[in-house]
Structure 1
């Protein structure tokens, strides 16, 4: 017997929706996430002014209302982050990865072009801004080498919040007090806004890591942080994302994944490097 959930979706409707969302984003929801998904579909139906699932889903699939798809993506993507999260990987960036990048590119006095770092998904900005703060405070070449830091996410709402860069206590819990005083200004209600110069130094983009055509905009990055996103993909989407990340790196470039993620389970195209702080993956030098 077919049963309907609280949102009014039958199991058949839910399967059609899951298939559609997977094709558009690479994200696949299991039956265990049914309650989470139903609630957010209800929100999207109300936001769009529709009278039910069928009229909303029909308009969504016509592809002439990109606002409907964007609202859906914004509702269904999880954005759990805070400053200096998994900070041991930033230690690896400073202690081993960036020195290797500079050496591979000719040394600090001969390097041509900027050192390029990408945070994807960047959510509300804590990760790329954390990278900027660590470099400003601790990397000896920050005053002599050109550095580009980019943040990217599929969710337009979190990108807008990243651009504003106003944060509460939870996001800032690991920021040292001297850094908070130096780089943030209180804006009331227990919130602090990041220095305008640092906000302006991070370029934000909207992108889907599983969209190969879209990802071609990104190339020649020296370092990519792509943490805790591949766990939401199935095998096919994870492999496609890995190939897109590979293409965005210059030969010899480095990829950081989340602590619970392993590229060895996804694709053999990266070389794992074991550093004291953990594993980082590298696009082989000379690879095309």
Structure 2
């Protein structure tokens, strides 16, 4: 991966806000670039947030102006990856929206496995998965609460557009805040102290989840993941505009097997995005289903 050399002349390199202040056209250009590649909407209202992050990448690459930095972005796929990483939102913790985990065990999985035989594959997708708390929560919840967990071949995949969080997820180190919703006995069983105030998920659990890069507005990227019985896609569509939401919804529809379910964040509604899904009201949660008999 090529990198522009860092300048050693501190007087020549702009610093602070003056270095990263973007002209109106430059801001629009960057926001259009991010939108095209992520579906996320940025604009003038988030100028300070944008400029701070651009300043970090300009310093890292030695770029002395935004046009110089953007030329570097256009020429280096690795820098595109870094740029996208710094603009993703990664707020999460274990057992977030626990009612959906209850629904998973009490309603969704029973509906899925009625069309399968013992030993058959059940695929569950967490996208975006951030630093792994959500897919690992699914694995822990099933071990703790679903009596049939050993009767089927369960594959859990966690995907994100941010490559840095995928690396962090594979390591499996978490602090007190990430673990705060877990029962203390669960923390003791599945997380080992690392000596620096954090805990590391035990190896067996880390190996139970496979992590991949995926972009919800890139049809080929989603298709490469295969089809799933259940998808957790929470709190990402709120960052998209209508066109990106519809594209993501269509990609998610195609990623589901007939009869499969998708769980969204509590402020999100698939009914306002696409009519292709059936709304299903279960005891613990409202979810959306791809029509058709499960396979």
**TM-score (norm: length of structure 1):** 0.93
Q: Does structure 2 conserve the Cα–Cα contact (< 8 Å) formed by 1:219 and 1:247?
A: no
Distance 1:8 1:36 in 2: 11
Q: Does structure 1 conserve the Cα–Cα contact (< 8 Å) formed by 2:119 and 2:151?
A: no
Distance 1:134 1:79 in 2: 21
Correspondence 1:141-156 to 2 at 5 A: 141-156=148-163
Q: Which residue of 2 aligns with 1:61?
A: 74
Q: Does structure 2 conserve the Cα–Cα contact (< 8 Å) formed by 1:122 and 1:151?
A: yes
Q: For residues 181-226 of structure 1, what are the alpha-carbon distances to aligned partners after superposition, in whole Å with 9 as ceiling and x for unaligned?
A: 1111000121000010010110000111110011111222000000
Where structure 2 has 5 or more consecutive residues not aligned to the other structure, the ranges are 1-16
| Structure 1 residues 112 and 200: alpha-carbon distance in aligned structure 2, compared to 1, 3 A threshold | closer
Report whether the alignment pairs 1:84 with 2:95: yes
Q: Does structure 1 conserve the Cα–Cα contact (< 8 Å) formed by 2:261 and 2:289?
A: yes
Selected match of 1:265 from 265, 272, 290? 272
Structure 1 residue 113: Cα displacement = 3.1
Q: Which residue of 1 aligns with 2:198?
A: 191
Q: For residues 65-114 of structure 1, what are the alpha-carbon distances to aligned partners after superposition, in whole Å with 9 as ceiling and x for unaligned?
A: 111111111111110000000100100101100000011x24xxx25631
4+ runs deviating over 3 angstroms: none
Q: Which residue of 1 aligns with 2:242?
A: 235
Report whether the alignment pairs 1:122 with 2:135: no
Report whether the alignment pairs 1:31 with 2:38: no
**TM-score (norm: length of structure 2):** 0.91
Structure 1 residue 271: Cα displacement = 0.5
Q: For residues 143-194 of structure 1, what are the alpha-carbon distances to aligned partners after superposition, in whole Å with 9 as ceiling and x for unaligned?
A: 2211000000000110111000000000000111111111110001210000
Selected match of 1:41 from 37, 54, 62? 54
Where 1:117 maps in the other structure, the secondary structure is strand
Task: State how many pairs are aligned.
Answer: 277
Distance 1:72 1:198 in 2: 31
Distance 1:17 1:234 in 2: 17
Report whether the alignment pairs 1:255 with 2:262: yes
